[in-house]
Structure 1
């Protein structure tokens, strides 16, 4: 089954609970196996900076769903958890992004894989590196370490917050 890395983010309280609920809803889907979770990181907002800090994590799933089917499922879970898309890069209860789908390069009107912003987002790359082997996933022929080193990030931009909540 394809391995898929998903980015999770929330900056509306209870942030950690929204991450947990998103992972639980994904795990409870019959066509999705939750394999691994990263730690949770406290991160500064990206884009629209006048909002609360985020909690971010990355999870690894296996699924027979194709990218469009998975996107539909992810958007449905976001909606069930109260996601409202009012402001681009605005506050959100939950955000679930498809980062990588195996080593597939895919583009449609609704979806681009790998996610086009990974290389600009330390809050995605740092938790992703907890789950992958070195040089396992490449962006434009370069590994995640390469892109992370290109970013000049402040110490307080991405901080370890906690382990991922228990899902048992």
Structure 2
């Protein structure tokens, strides 16, 4: 008997501001695309001003939509392993990093534990997350995210901090690699 494995949709935020920033993003996307997770969609890449600790270089940020058989906790562990493999070091809170992977959304789950909060707790305050999320999100959450982006742009005037850097074609490249 073949057992049906539940597949869930999740959204991952990626950021890098050390070294070959685009290469770190691309390597992370490739590492996300394996037997338990499949990358379904990649946002464009945005260059963004640092938030929190501002004495550092600009970031490249993007969001990917994945389909996964992992639980939220197992996916978080996998993201930490990918960060580790790409030499992520945690020396300064919100400081420079080769790669940062944040679990933004996981289906419609709301979770609040010591290790994991879903939806990501600061997601709605950050245009560098919300704007690329709009590139990939396809469901009813899209309208809500659009209104949050509009409100931040109107009220906060933050648009200068997020600039499109490059349009991605990585998904088609990943599909070619698999065939």
Q: Does the TM-score normalized on the shorter chain lie above 0.5? A: yes
Distance 1:111 1:163 in 2: 31
**Runs of 4+ that moved beyond 4 A:** none
Q: TM-score, with normalisation over the residues of structure 1? A: 0.92
1:156 is the counterpart of 2:156? no
**Which of the residues 4, 8, 13 maps onto 1:2?**
8
**Larger % of helix: which?**
2
Gaps of 5+ in 1: none
Which residue of 2 is the match for residue 119 of structure 1?
124
Q: TM-score, with normalisation over the residues of structure 2? A: 0.86
CA deviations 1:51-106 (Å, max 9, x no partner) are 00000000000001001100000000000000001111000000000000011101
1:32 is the counterpart of 2:30? no
Alpha-carbon RMSD across the aligned residues, in angstroms, is: 1.5
**Between Structure 1 and Structure 2, how many residues are aligned?**
163
Q: How does 1:33-112 map to 2 (within 5 A)?
A: 33-112=38-117
Residue 96 of structure 1 aligns to a residue whose secondary structure is: strand
Structure number with larger C-alpha Rg = 2
Distance 2:169 2:122 in 1: 26
